[in-house]
Amino acid sequence: MLAIICGSLSPCDSWAEDDCGRKQLSDQVKDAQQRFEKDCGFTIMQGRLPGDVNCGHGPETIGEAWDRALVAAGVPETFDEREALAKKLDLNSQASLVLMGMARAEGIDYLLRQLRTCEP
């Protein structure tokens, strides 16, 4: 039923089935941003990030902390599952990098823009 509702509200008929998935992933990435900021004390969206951080789980890299925030927000845990999700949503390789743990503001912005559009 939800797929039918999302499909009827979709501006791009060919993407109707994936629009709900795109919205869900967009919400998860935004939630991960908030979790990261809460746990680490700074935003993942700042221009320069430190190499190593302690976000309440001991010393780790920014990528590890971002990956943990993505998983906590509901993004699949394994790279294979993330790759399958990226293919299902027809994300290009640049957008997919953020799902694989790339923690850079421009990459996150790019992914969120891709999730709002009907073009891969």
Supply the DSSP string of the chain, one letter for each residue. -HHHHHHHH-SSGGGHHHHHHHHHHHHHHHHHHHHHHHHHSS-TTSSS--SEEESSSSEEEHHHHHHHHHHHTT--SSHHHHHHHHHHTT--HHHHHHHTT---HHHHHHHHHHHHSS--
pLDDT tens digits for 25-69? 999 999 999 999 999 999 888 878 878 889 888 999 998 999 999
> For the residues 84-90, what does the mean pLDDT come to?
91
CA-closest candidate to residue 70, choices 21, 33, 116: 33
pLDDT at position 18 is 55
Question: What's the pTM?
Answer: 0.78
Name the band, by pLDDT with cuts 50, 70 and 90, for residue 4.
very low
Q: What is the per-residue pLDDT for 118?
A: 55
Q: Given this model, what pLDDT does residue 97 score?
A: 80
Mean pLDDT to the nearest integer, 87-101: 85
